[in-house]
Structure 1
Amino acid sequence: MTQPFESFLRRFEEANTAFVNGDASLWLSLVSRSEQTSIFGGFGGHEIGWTQIGPRYEWAASQFSPSGATVEFEYLDKHAGADTAYSVAIERCTVKYLDRSEAVPHLLRATMVFRREDGDWKIAHRHADHLVPTTPPPAS
């Protein structure tokens, strides 16, 4: 049976909220195990293939302390085709990082690519970085 994309997005949103509370388990269940999977994560760097991505996601989730944070999603665009889908969103929440005592805003702009594998949607690529104000190029 094929999983509808909107249903998958609800699971993804739940997994994202668990992630920013230090739990990567739901997230990892949604990620493709393919070596043609990639991440340009919110903490910088890049990883290619499941053997790099799995440990990276576990590490990234471990940088958050459980805080009851809930991620709010502002989808700017999303589309699902037969075997591929994407979303472009702003992800907003207030989190507690492992090395800080105070909660801080966590605002990401995130572009996701998903692909259908064995009837289920999986994360194939994530590019997330901090949302910063628009700034003009420096004067010459």
Structure 2
Amino acid sequence: MTLQFESFLRRFEEANTAFVNGDPSLWLALVSRSEQTSIFGGFGGHEVGWSQIGPRYEWASAQFRPSGAKVEFEYLDKHAGSDTAYTVAIERCTVRYVDRPGEHPHVLRTTMVFRKEHGDWAIVHRHGDPLSPKAPPS
């Protein structure tokens, strides 16, 4: 793991925490502007290309009220090559949604793909969905 990628991950973690407090600005600064960028987001659906994912990230962050939530990251795997990297993680926090009273656990299983662009890392794909309890085959 390179020091540059580890430093980027700290910025990503800070941006993720701001995101679940209703502020997407730090997150958006880390996202590739490429039309090959994609998201399979925690609120469902999928978007491809900056023109779709920029507004979707803004909408998703607007679903959270500021609460002081801090995302905790359990990295199951992470790797950085010379120009691409990925993480596989569980992201946990307790949030306040704009349309529901009270606090709610927000636990996602995530796979992130990053690419080096203009000398720094950028998010090029996020797959995040709710972590469900393990169920045996039926």
State the TM-score bracket (shorter-chain normalisation): over 0.9
| Offset, 1:48 | 0.1
What is the one-letter code of the residue matched to 1:103? E
| Offset, 1:100 | 1.1
Q: Quote the Cα distance in structure 1 between the aligned partners of 2:43 and 2:101.
A: 19
Residue matched to 2:136:
136
Residue matched to 1:9:
9
1:25-56: per-residue Cα shift (whole Å, max 9, x none)? 00000000000000000000000000000000
Q: Quote the Cα distance in structure 2 between the aligned partners of 1:100 and 1:21.
A: 14
What is the one-letter code of the residue matched to 1:38? S
| Offset, 1:15 | 0.1
| Offset, 1:77 | 0.3
Q: Quote the Cα distance in structure 2 between the aligned partners of 1:101 and 1:76.
A: 32
Alignment of 1:39-118 (within 5 A): 39-118=39-118
Q: Quote the Cα distance in structure 1 between the aligned partners of 2:101 and 2:135.
A: 30
SS at the partner of 1:16? helix
1:64-121: per-residue Cα shift (whole Å, max 9, x none)? 0000000000000000000000000000000000011200000000000000001010
Tell me the percent identity.
78
SS at the partner of 2:33? coil
User: What 5-or-longer segments of structure 2 have no aligned partner?
Assistant: none
Q: Quote the Cα distance in structure 2 between the aligned partners of 1:101 and 1:40.
A: 26
Instruction: Name segments (4+ residues, structure 1) moved above 2 Å.
Output: none
TM-score normalised according to structure 1 size: 0.96
User: What 5-or-longer segments of structure 1 have no aligned partner?
Assistant: none
Q: Quote the Cα distance in structure 2 between the aligned partners of 1:120 and 1:103.
A: 36
SS at the partner of 2:70? coil
RMSD: 1.2
Residue matched to 2:28:
28
SS at the partner of 2:17? helix
Q: Quote the Cα distance in structure 2 between the aligned partners of 1:136 and 1:45.
A: 26
Q: Quote the Cα distance in structure 2 between the aligned partners of 1:98 and 1:17.
A: 16
